[in-house]
Structure 1
Amino acid sequence: MTTSIKGPFDGRKWAFFGAALALLLAAANLRGGLVVVGPLVADIRAGLSLSASEFSLLTTLPLICFSLVSICVPRLARLVRAPVLVTGALLLIAAGAGLRATSFYSLMLAGTLLLGSAIALLNVLIPGLVKGYFPRQAGLMTGLYSVTLSLGAGLGVFLAVPLRDAFSAWQAPVLLWALLPLICALCWLGMLRIRSREMAPGTAGRISLWRDARAWNLTVFMGLQSLFFYSIATWLPKILMDAGLEDQQAGLATSMINLAGIPANLMVPIIAARMQDQRPLVLLVLVLGVTGLTGLWLNPTAAPLFWASLLGLSGSASLSLALALFALRTRSGLEATSLSAMAQSLGYLLAAAGPVVVGGLNDLQGSWGSALLLLIAAQVIQFGCGWHASRPGFVTPDQQRGQGAPGASEPRPHCCDCSAVAQALSRFRLSNSDFLTNT
């Protein structure tokens, strides 16, 4: 998908690569500090004498923070420059991860709140930054961002048990994710000089999408894919260990959720950016996810790495597709940030129920069958919402409804039809200059 909108780094090769590196380093810290506790569940519960419900708060509270904080990010971004927000968020991630490495449950909860709030801030900001900083490379940058995010999560799970064994303490792998954000924050110090007119504070008023059906479908799609990821990341080690695998084998299989999904993370946004209609990708997500869950339900020990890889491909494809749609179904970085905030605030509120409900069903029935069937049903609903959200067209801000805003529902031109793109953008600029302040 081509665009004539210029980014702040066009024609500045080294500044472009520096900004891309800073963005990817920020993305590397978005999952590792959260998922690292999954393989350490037995050690943490034994060391702190925690019940299952008390431990569940360590995985559920971040999702609640995602929901509550995400909705506030667009307003915060109108008051504070984005590089300042990103730098501050990285420092909060370091502080939160450090508190989660203590042996006091109350401090771990406080650290979890800090960690979840800071990650929520970055979750919402980064899609808008991709749209605002790299408008010509939105598909590629979304793919690289998704790959980096999954690499961080995969390494968090993969290194958890070896680091625990090497240092004879479950705190060692948790502390790793308190040090990395500090290093990454140094790269953002140089970004403080970067100014983008579109992403600058006060460049536009509030953008609301609460009356847009496409935005609502993308919100549910985002929520259900997050519910799927956090449910599987939390309980897959226990599912496999209950089936007879050793903890190291279960940890290796769980790491495949993220590592096997790397190709999907990279390619799905690039492919999606070249398509008018992304519905075939939504169908692919459904087939991969249902196949992996069915195999895990019927015979988890037959091919645990294969089932986990299918789940990873499905989860990574759905996440990167959702992130790509934030850019592909909006016309500016400000709209992308607003759509990201809406989808992630309500979506993560829905996702927060996933680990609790899945664990609760296992406690009630003493098996994982019903929980896995519930996740299969959620995949089907996710497919329906994604089918609608990925159709050609754009979201329409509430402020434009009833004004006959041109281009609100017209499909995207084909990626090779450059003249059609130019005409559509030209019509849009004439009537929507408040939202395209960078042109």
Structure 2
Amino acid sequence: MSSSSPTGPFVGRPVIAVLAIVALMLAAANLRGGLVVVGPLVMEIRDSLQISASAFSLLTTLPLLCFAGMSICVPWLTRRWAPQWISIAGLMVISLGVGFRLLDSYALVIVGTLLLGCAIAVLNVLIPGLVKAFFPRQVGLMTGLYSVTLSLGAGMGVFLAIPLLEQFGDWRYPVALWAVLPLFSVLFWLPMLKVKTVGRPANRQRVSLWRDKIAWSITFYMGLQSFYFYSMATWLPKILLENGLDAHQAGTATALINLVSIPFNLFVPILAAKMANQRLLVVGTFMVSFIGIAGIWWQPNAAPLLWASFIGMGCGSALSLALSFFVLRAENTAQATALSAMAQSIGYLLAALGPVSLGLMRDISGHWQWALLLLLALQLGQLASGWSAARPIKVKPDQSKL
């Protein structure tokens, strides 16, 4: 059978195969928009809720901590309920969490943020395993589409925020969009309940990867690329502003990170799936990331758009490669889910530490040079972990019955 033909649960079922693709992509579209939409609305939300800048910062940092804490629980959930049911529940909780963030009480907004972060964490972990279960022969293409949709969802959240605010005159309208979209997405997940091959495992096996070297390599690769991305997304505008660029130039350069990453989100997983090992991609990703951050360290105002483009290439390639490792290094859906949970729990903990640690280094030193040198050093660590993760070796878990 051609690798472009549906396999797994969709052989001879083209309609439900298309519905599965739409369901997966819609789930991916919901995983960033509800979080990033508050960024462009910071002043309106602060004025409405009468909160300080530090109180507002919890709306963006708490979800990352939820990602770290909740990700590790997903394999436990999948041993008790079918992944399709968990996906539907996750989408509904995303809608509920965003709904809480529309209220006038800051305490309830925090509750909504926690719900939103936990639900997104579950789907972050679950979807790579579902990609492997639904499309075992198309993991490269489907991982690429998933990664692209993830970036597009984030971009749409930022892009639509101000136009919807100006149209309706209230910051709650652009936020409310992300309470409605998950409910619409659930409609496409309901037919997935009929797909029996990825239901709850009959043997109720627990898959542990904490002693596996390949799993740890992938975990560190995921963590270091997350540290890099969230650090740059948080501080690049301020770095450029402090080096003489105006707000428009700094904003354009930062926007390029997400824009340039999109083609790499798509094509890197496709290439990765065709390679015996992915070391060439690991090295290429390292080179463009290193050049981007070195340029910002060396002379940020010389070619900020060029440096930002290199950073975008590296971020897009690294994220897509990390997601590809989840499915390429696993033998089955349970292993892919366990690997995703392990890598994302530690990965997003590192991501949450990134902006804080770089900001602290800036405050202590009075400049960004040491913080940028730290990022350059961590790129070497990312290269080493990626070199190990790229070996064509499957993870070897310890398995035990519950």
Structure 2 gap ranges (5+): none
Displacement after TM superposition at 1:398 (Å): 1.9
Instruction: Check the 8 A contact 2:4/2:138 in 1, yes or no.
Output: no
Instruction: Check the 8 A contact 2:289/2:379 in 1, yes or no.
Output: yes
Q: Which amino acid aligns with 2:278?
A: Q
Displacement after TM superposition at 1:154 (Å): 1.9
Inter-CA distance 77–398: structure 2 relative to 1 (3 Å threshold): same
Displacement after TM superposition at 1:96 (Å): 1.7
Normalising by structure 2, what TM-score? 0.91
CA distance in 2, matches of 1:157, 1:144: 20
CA distance in 2, matches of 1:326, 1:16: 22
Whether 2:87 is the aligned partner of 1:83: answer no
Greater mean alpha carbon deviation, residues 117-126 or residues 279-288: 279-288
CA distance in 1, matches of 2:284, 2:176: 37
Normalising by structure 1, what TM-score? 0.84
Identity among equivalent positions (%) equals 57
Whether 2:21 is the aligned partner of 1:20: answer yes
Q: Which residue number in structure 1 is paired with residue 333 of structure 2?
A: 333
Q: Can you list the C-alpha shifts for 1:261-282, whole angstroms capped at 9, x where unaligned? A: 1111111111001111101111
Greater mean alpha carbon deviation, residues 38-47 or residues 20-29: 38-47
Greater mean alpha carbon deviation, residues 106-115 or residues 265-274: 106-115
Q: Which residue number in structure 2 is paired with residue 205 of structure 1?
A: 205
Displacement after TM superposition at 1:346 (Å): 1.6
Q: How many residues align?
A: 400
CA distance in 2, matches of 1:241, 1:39: 17
Q: Can you list the C-alpha shifts for 1:235-289, whole angstroms capped at 9, x where unaligned? A: 3333344445555554443332222111111111110011111011111111111
Per the alignment, in what secondary structure is the counterpart of residue 206 of structure 1?
A: strand
Greater mean alpha carbon deviation, residues 254-263 or residues 102-111: 102-111
Displacement after TM superposition at 1:55 (Å): 3.2
Inter-CA distance 50–56: structure 2 relative to 1 (3 Å threshold): same
Q: Can you list the C-alpha shifts for 1:310-362, whole angstroms capped at 9, x where unaligned? A: 22211111111111111111111111111111111122122211122223233
Displacement after TM superposition at 1:47 (Å): 5.2
Q: Which amino acid aligns with 2:188?
A: C
Relative to its length, the structure with more helix (as a share) is: 2
Greater mean alpha carbon deviation, residues 115-124 or residues 229-238: 229-238
Instruction: Check the 8 A contact 1:56/1:355 in 2, yes or no.
Output: no
Inter-CA distance 248–190: structure 2 relative to 1 (3 Å threshold): farther
Inter-CA distance 355–174: structure 2 relative to 1 (3 Å threshold): farther
Instruction: Check the 8 A contact 1:48/1:105 in 2, yes or no.
Output: yes
Structure 1 gap ranges (5+): 401-433, 435-439
CA distance in 2, matches of 1:248, 1:161: 16
CA distance in 1, matches of 2:44, 2:364: 24
Displacement after TM superposition at 1:98 (Å): 2.8
CA distance in 2, matches of 1:13, 1:255: 38
Q: Which residue number in structure 1 is paired with residue 156 of structure 2?
A: 155
What is the correspondence of 1:15-414 to structure 2 with a 5 Å cutoff? 15-45=16-46, 48=49, 50-196=51-197, 198-245=198-245, 247=247, 249-399=249-399
Inter-CA distance 209–340: structure 2 relative to 1 (3 Å threshold): same
CA distance in 1, matches of 2:238, 2:172: 20
Displacement after TM superposition at 1:162 (Å): 3.8
Greater mean alpha carbon deviation, residues 214-223 or residues 226-235: 226-235
Q: Which amino acid aligns with 1:328?
A: L
Per the alignment, in what secondary structure is the counterpart of residue 38 of structure 2?
A: coil
Q: Which amino acid aligns with 1:128?
A: G
